[in-house]
Amino acid sequence: PSSLEAFTESPIYARTNGYLAHWYKDIGSKVQKGTLLADIETPEIDQELMQARAARDQAEAQLRLAKTSADRWETLRKMDAVAQQETDERSSGYTQGQAALASATANVRRLEQLESFKHVYAPFAGTITKRNTDIGALINAGNSGMNQELFVVALVNPIRVYVDVPEIYAPSVRRGVNASIELPSLPGQRFTGSVARTADAIDPGTRTLRTEIAVPISDGKLLPGS
């Protein structure tokens, strides 16, 4: 007895909070890496980004004023028209303005990155095996708590077959050994693969050797979970 699993399978979670605006791929859809799967509305992030951009513009204006002031007082200092202390204060104000602008710019970039997460893309080429969301659904970032994946993408070509080989047969199992797979749902058909790897250890609970067989397929007859 063995079990079939996708060669690569990944749940797709949201990276930002909002509401699902639209989904583009359903179960069974073949996707390529970078395919757009869904769009999320993020009104709170959009508003924060607008405020952050306004704060950055304000910091830029204040920096220009601080620079003009610092340059003017530096000129006056050369003419001995002002004290050195006052000139240093203007120079310090310009330095503080540079730091404030850098902070505001970093905040804008952070929010722009968060906003980019409103578009959900496929991480690799494969098949959509689950879609657990719909239009209007509340979306929470991350995979903690009650959050669930929006989609599950699986690469099923080739497919992995896992079998627990009894200890008595373990010495004959090695990488490259051919194996034939039969399914009760497809009587009379065999699928050929080969041992890709083993656990190199006997499970003390079952006295078996966990073995993975790789079966290259192209007709879609072998399904994960079989």
Ramachandran assignment for 136, one of left (phi > 0), alpha (psi -120 to 50 degrees), beta (any other): left
Per-residue pLDDT of the chain (226 residues; tens, 9 = 90+): 999 999 889 999 998 888 999 999 999 999 999 999 999 999 888 899 999 999 999 999 988 888 888 777 677 767 776 677 677 677 787 888 889 899 999 999 999 988 889 999 999 999 999 999 899 988 888 766 555 789 999 998 888 999 999 999 999 999 999 999 999 888 888 999 999 999 999 999 999 999 999 998 767 788 888 8
| C-beta neighbour count of 215 within 10 angstroms | 20
Which residues, 6 or more positions from 124, have their beta carbon under 8 angstroms from its beta carbon? 8, 10, 33, 153, 155
**Residue 82 phi, psi (nearest 5):** -135, 165
Residues 93, 87: Cα–Cα separation, whole Å: 10
pLDDT value of position 146: 56
pLDDT value of position 95: 84
Q: Which two tokens stand for residue 45?
A: 């992030």
Half-sphere exposure of 20 (CA within 13 A, CB side): 21
Q: Where are the beta strands (DSSP E) in the chain?
A: 2-12, 18-23, 30-31, 36-41, 119-121, 126-131, 138-139, 151-166, 178-181, 191-203, 208-215
DSSP letters, 81-132, are -S-HHHHHHHHHHHHHHHHHHHHHHHHHHHHHHHHHTTEEE-SSSEEEEEE-
Residues 57, 18: Cα–Cα separation, whole Å: 27
Residues 14, 115: Cα–Cα separation, whole Å: 12
Look at the block and give the residue holding tokens 């850098």. 102
Which neighbouring-strand residues pair with 20?
40
